[in-house]
Chains A and B, each alone.
Chain A
Amino acid sequence: MTAWQSVGRVRWGWFLLASAGLVLLPLVSEINTPTLLLIWALFALSLGMMWGYAGLLSFGHSAYFGLGAYTYAIAVVNVGESTLPLLLAIVVPALVAAVIGAMMFYGRISDVYMGVITLVVTLILFKFMSATAGDAYAIGAARLGGFNGIPGFQTLNVPGRPEISLFGLPTYYICAAALVLCYLLCRWILARSFGRVLIGIRENEARCELMGYDVPACKTLIFAFSAAMAGLAGCLFANWAEIVTPRVFSLGQAAEVLIWVIVGGLGTLIGPILGAVALGYVKILLGGQTLIDNSLILGILLIVVVLAIPRGVVPALQRVWMARRRWARRREAQGGGARRRLGAAP
């Protein structure tokens, strides 16, 4: 795969088509499920950006998703207006990730140990939040509520107008806009030299370092950026669910997003999005019945993908598509087309 292909670009035709589809979807479908799928897609995009392009695998990415959700809930209970909480839900996870990332990357910790540390951070948050029942655990006016979480906080409102709260259709459009904007932001970053350095780090870290790039700083930066996106997804999730519980930090959540990304495809942006939407939808369908356990399906899927298509479905399809096009072109060159072209050339 050449560098150009792995950076990718926006295919504006497809992009506009997809955006139009997102705008028109509420006309033909209920919006509760699509909203959730969009939030999951944004979460998967955040991990896909960092894992697929910089090669950094966070085993516990749900930590930042959950931090976003909790930050929003705690802040909005205290402030009563949603603009500042929304910003905090993006900034706080980014700062936490920056601190943890700096600790890991400047310490030259290898990828396996990075997996362990990110997983442990998630576990700490899960254990702590589950144990915060009682009045002693409160931040300002917000009681953390232990395993039951924080219910009944205010959802997003029009900035500066706390009395006009947004839910239902506006939430759907906010999630859609967030996903589309984050996608474009990721594309923009990847098209810049910073994006190329990230891919360089993925391909050969030592070489990048020898060429004079500050690898730990780049890794910390992309980790924080990814966490910010995950935090935004968490904040939107809090708005969708209208409750946050420690389950947002759970290992199950961490495993799910990882499976969406790897099944969808590493090294693409659309792969994680499609993976999250497709598998998320399957999960919702399976949730309606009790015959087959959801984790059974996810487990088999993860094993099969790792063994058979370790880079994911979308890159595999891309390869098939490219091979077919090459094959068609060669056939054309051997057949009548070639003669015509040869005849035309003097």
Chain B
Amino acid sequence: MDYAGVVGLEILYMIAFLALTSAGLAIVFGMMRVINLAHGEFVMLGGYTTIACARAGIDIYVAMLVIAPLVVGVIGLIVERAIIRFLYGRMIDTMLATWGLSLLLIGLVTLIFGNTAVSVPAPIPGYQLGDYQMGGYNLFIILVTAALFVAMWGVLKLTRAGLIARGAMQGPDVVASLGYDPRKVYMVTFTVGAALSGLAGGVLAPLTGLLPSSGGAYIAKAFITVITGGAAVISGTLASAVIFGTVNQIVSFAAHPVTGEIAMLVLAIILLRLMPSGITGRFFRDSI
């Protein structure tokens, strides 16, 4: 019974991890059809910001929930103005330029922080579940992810800004003729996407030690989660996070963590072959 609880919580944590690390990428891809290969580095920068702030004596919750998204959001804004805006509509070129950006950020962080692992202790102690020691911080991540997705749904569905963003996604011409500048919408969208990546990095920083190259660990999983999810930002990301998280953890428990990851990647290829426009290209079509 306890063991089932452990497995269940681990699956839930994996789903939250995938959804959280994919949220920023999903917004940028779903709204703008831009694939940001520097997404992993945005997450990594959020982590470094959190750790730097925590070391400077700032409360760690403020650091991860406020400062990290702000800092990475500003970086995202600069990147959009300096690089991305010249490349709208050129998907492959955007992928290449953001890959360059990813290398650039890795090099920059190596230069500043050095190529050594940094970490910060988790602020929530573990607890006992039957015979098993569980990380209490995992529950916090699950909560943050749930709150984040509820907030994203609320903004997109209930506010005027969300309406304009969804409009710009479906028909930029129509939005432009109604008096809104789609380019401005894209700029804000990219900034928000970057800020969400920073939030993910900040929240995850206490769990995983950080290296300049840590972004690579997130990008692949975030990538397949978003692409397999398809165009609908929230339902697509959640659907594929549930599928991949469950498969990954069940195979991990049954065999080996590496086998779990490989199973997830193989499943991604199969799903993409079966549904080239993602899960939401076939199911839940009218969702967001």
Residues on A lying within 8 angstroms of B by beta carbon are 57, 59, 103-104, 107-113, 115-117, 119-121, 123-124, 127-128, 130-131, 251, 255, 258-259, 262, 292-303, 306-307, 310
The residue that A262 contacts in the complex, of B96, B111, B227, B266, with Cβ under 8 A, is B96
The residue that A299 contacts in the complex, of B91, B102, B266, with Cβ under 8 A, is B102
Interface string of B93-127 (1 = CB under 8 A from A): 10111011111111110110000000000000000
The residue that B269 contacts in the complex, of A121, A127, A296, with Cβ under 8 A, is A121
- In angstroms, Cα B219 to Cα A202, docked, is 29
Contact partners of B100 in chain A: CB under 8 A: 259, 298-303, 306
Q: How far is the CB of A248 from chain B (nearest CB, A)?
A: 16
Q: How far is the CB of B81 from chain A (nearest CB, A)?
A: 13
Q: Output the nearest chain B residue to A51 by Cβ-Cβ distance.
A: B92
- In angstroms, Cα B261 to Cα A255, docked, is 22
Residues on B lying within 8 angstroms of A by beta carbon are 35, 83, 86-87, 91-93, 95-97, 99-108, 110-111, 216, 220, 223-224, 227, 256, 258, 261-262, 265-266, 268-269, 272-273, 276
Secondary structure of the A side of the interface? Answer: helix
The residue that A57 contacts in the complex, of B86, B92, B223, B261, with Cβ under 8 A, is B92
- In angstroms, Cα B258 to Cα A292, docked, is 34
Contact partners of A117 in chain B: CB under 8 A: 269, 272
The residue that B95 contacts in the complex, of A112, A123, A292, A295, with Cβ under 8 A, is A112
The residue that B262 contacts in the complex, of A107, A128, A303, with Cβ under 8 A, is A128
- In angstroms, Cα B91 to Cα A116, docked, is 12
Contact A123 B106 (CB under 8 A): no
Contact A127 B265 (CB under 8 A): yes
Which 5 residue pairs across A and B have the least CB separation, nearest first?
A296-B107, A302-B100, A299-B104, A299-B103, A293-B107
Contact A295 B223 (CB under 8 A): no
The residue that B97 contacts in the complex, of A121, A123, A302, with Cβ under 8 A, is A302
Contact partners of B227 in chain A: CB under 8 A: 113, 116
From B92, B262, B266, residue with most partner A Cβ within 10 Å: B92
- In angstroms, Cα B277 to Cα A109, docked, is 9
Q: How far is the CB of B247 from chain A (nearest CB, A)?
A: 14
Contact B107 A299 (CB under 8 A): yes
The residue that A307 contacts in the complex, of B95, B97, B111, B216, with Cβ under 8 A, is B97
Q: How far is the CB of A246 from chain B (nearest CB, A)?
A: 12
Given contacts A112-B35, A113-B276, contact A127 B262 (CB under 8 A): yes
The residue that B104 contacts in the complex, of A111, A127, A295, with Cβ under 8 A, is A295
